[in-house]
Amino acid sequence: MTAPLFHLSPGALDAVAPGASVTLSGAEGHHAATVMRMQPGEQVLLSDTVGLRAEGLVRAAGGGELQVEILELTQEPVLRPRIVLVQALAKDRRDLQGVESATELGVDAVIPWQAERSVARWKAGRETKKHAEWVALVRTAAKQTRRTTIPAVRPLQTTAQYRDALSAAGDRIGAIALHETDQTSLAQAVTAHCGSGTAPEELHLIIGPEGGISDREIELLSDAGARVARLGPTVLRSSTAGPAALAATQLLLGRWDWSH
């Protein structure tokens, strides 16, 4: 079984070398030492949450802390394009289900989207609380799947706000809006954005709510540079479409090829 992973703060491993000792304290230290009852000699993984991972060995445990000897450090490469899930708010927490699965599958960032047909809404005055809920979910999913980097959850955007940001980004962002009636395949859309040898900085996968992306939104997004594509022969729920599109995109980009 893979060693458990614990999060440190960004930069915590910058000056660390193999053979050094690192203290895991705070909530993570309490969980490791008190809840999991980890013992000297057990292996652990430590992450700075932004790309640097350490393999270590527990040398001492107690008082809600672990003393960990660092054995090896690995810096994850930054892949281009970064894959960003633009997830429409959806009822019955299906938006959160989609975000959780997308995190497990390797998404790089998430944008909550207040789409025209979104039944769920972030009520005025509760935006901070709802955003924190998404952040906590992403952190937990990243830790569960032993991800070194925690995807960023960006601020909530309306259709107009996202359209403006996409238009201003130009070639730096390639966007694909998944729509059930389009005849362009996801593979064709990904190739159009990333197949010319010069990939954008980010590739956005835009997932609509229960009622889908409206025709007006499709027009606005297309005018801003987004391509429209169909994911497959069936109509997927909002909780399923994002993870399915992400998994397919990872394969199309060769990121799940272990020989890559």
- Residues 130, 79: contact at Cβ < 8 Å? no
pLDDT at 208 over 90: yes
Per-residue pLDDT at 258: 55
> Picking from 95-99, 161-165, 200-204, 207-211, which range would have the lowest pLDDT averaged per residue?
207-211
- Please, are residues 56 and 38 in contact by the beta-carbon 8 Å criterion? no
Give the tens place of pLDDT for each residue, 65-85.
999 999 999 999 888 999 999
| 59/52 Cα distance (integer angstroms) | 21
Distance CA 126, CA 202 (A): 29
**pLDDT tens for residues 230-242?**
988 888 899 999 9
Q: How many whole angstroms separate alpha carbon 93 and alpha carbon 98?
A: 9
Element (H, E) at 174: strand 173-178
Q: Distance from CA of residue 89 to its chain's centroid? A: 16
pTM: 0.91
Cis previous bond, 81, omega within 30:
yes
> What 3-state class would DSSP assign to 173?
strand
Contact by Cβ (8 Å): 40, 61: yes
Whether the CB-CB separation of 157 and 111 falls below 8 Å is answered with yes
Task: Classify 161 as helix, strand or coil.
Answer: helix
Contact 168, 162 (CB under 8 A): no
pLDDT at residue 204 in the model: 98
Residue 180: pLDDT over 70: yes
What's the pLDDT at 2? 81
For residue 260, how far is the Cα from the chain centroid? 21
* Long-range contacts formed by 120-128: CB under 8 A, 24+ apart: 120/89, 120/90, 120/91, 120/95, 120/209, 121/89, 122/89, 122/156, 127/156
Residue 257, number of CB atoms within 10 A of its CB:
9
List pLDDT tens digits, range 146-170.
999 999 999 999 999 999 999 999 9
How many Å apart are CA 80 and CA 61, to the nearest integer? 40
Surface-to-core class of residue 17, CB atoms within 10 Å of its CB (0-12 exposed, 13-18 middle, 19+ buried)? exposed
Amino acid identity of residue 245, one-letter, is: A
Confidence band (pLDDT; 50, 70, 90) for 259?
very low
Burial of 11 (0-12, 13-18, 19+ CB in 10 A): exposed
